[in-house]
């Protein structure tokens, strides 16, 4: 019952959204997506442009290290800067995941054409966006990008 009540009230959460290098290659895309977020009612708590080393990208995606796409994923994520955005708001983790759509842009263009990955995504790897998938991942990823003290400020 408590769970249901929290859901209807909208649990206050934080999440890490990433605009991947193909989006940053087109500044107009960044502006449009940021505007979209700002008009949604969700809060941009922090923003930071990062340019990951191979080691940082490997660490961020460590859970995928045995997958066939790992090398190309790390290459993609180190091909240019990434915009890291700490979002906060009620149920923001699932809100951002739904706004992005699922992993594969071509599939999204068939099933969910208004989602961000359908509109901007290039390939299964170069899918333009990241969003934390749980409260625990969000914490780990926000601390990874912004550091522990900043994370504590975000969740206050
Ligand atoms: P998600 O980003 O939609 O949560 P994950 O399974 O966590 O998807 O995968 C992380 C990233 O790895 C994806 O966003 C995408 O860039 C890449 N990726 C995932 N699955 C595939 C695949 O089947 N082929 C190529 N790249 C993939």
pLDDT, tens only, 33-69 = 999 999 999 999 999 999 999 999 999 999 999 999 9
Asked whether residue 4 is domain-assigned, the answer is no
pLDDT-derived band of residue 8, with 50, 70 and 90 as boundaries?
Answer: low
Ligand 1 atom closest to the CA of 100, numbered from 1: 3
Asked whether residue 96 is domain-assigned, the answer is yes
Asked whether residue 146 is domain-assigned, the answer is yes
Distance CA 97, CA 108 (A): 13
* ipTM > 0.95, yes or no: yes
Distance CA 22, CA 28 (A): 12
Distance CA 135, CA 138 (A): 5
Backbone angles phi, psi at 64, to 5 degrees: -100, 10
Distance CA 53, CA 88 (A): 27
Asked whether residue 5 is domain-assigned, the answer is no
- Please state the domain count of the chain: 1
Asked whether residue 3 is domain-assigned, the answer is no
Pocket-testing residue among 58, 59, 73, 93, ligand 1, by greatest number of atoms within 8 A of Cβ? 73
Backbone angles phi, psi at 69, to 5 degrees: -95, 5
Asked whether residue 102 is domain-assigned, the answer is yes
Domain encompassing residue 76? 12-154
The CATH number of whichever domain residue 42 belongs to comes to 3.30.70.141
């Amino acid at each position: 019952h408590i769970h249901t009540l929290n859901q209807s009230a909208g649990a206050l959460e934080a999440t890490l959204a990433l605009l991947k290098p193909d989006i940053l290659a087109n500044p107009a895309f960044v502006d449009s997506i940021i505007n979209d977020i700002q008009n949604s009612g969700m809060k941009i708590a922090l923003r930071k442009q990062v340019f990951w080393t191979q080691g940082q990208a490997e660490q961020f995606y460590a859970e995928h290290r045995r997958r066939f796409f790992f090398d190309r994923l790390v290459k993609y994520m180190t091909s240019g800067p990434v915009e890291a955005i700490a979002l906060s708001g009620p149920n923001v983790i699932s809100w951002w995941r739904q706004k992005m759509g699922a992993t594969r842009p071509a599939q999204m263009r068939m099933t969910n054409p208004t989602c961000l990955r359908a509109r901007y995504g290039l390939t299964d790897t170069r899918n333009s966006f990241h969003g934390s998938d749980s409260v625990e991942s969000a914490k780990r990823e926000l601390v990874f990008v912004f550091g522990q003290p900043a994370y504590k400020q975000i969740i206050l």
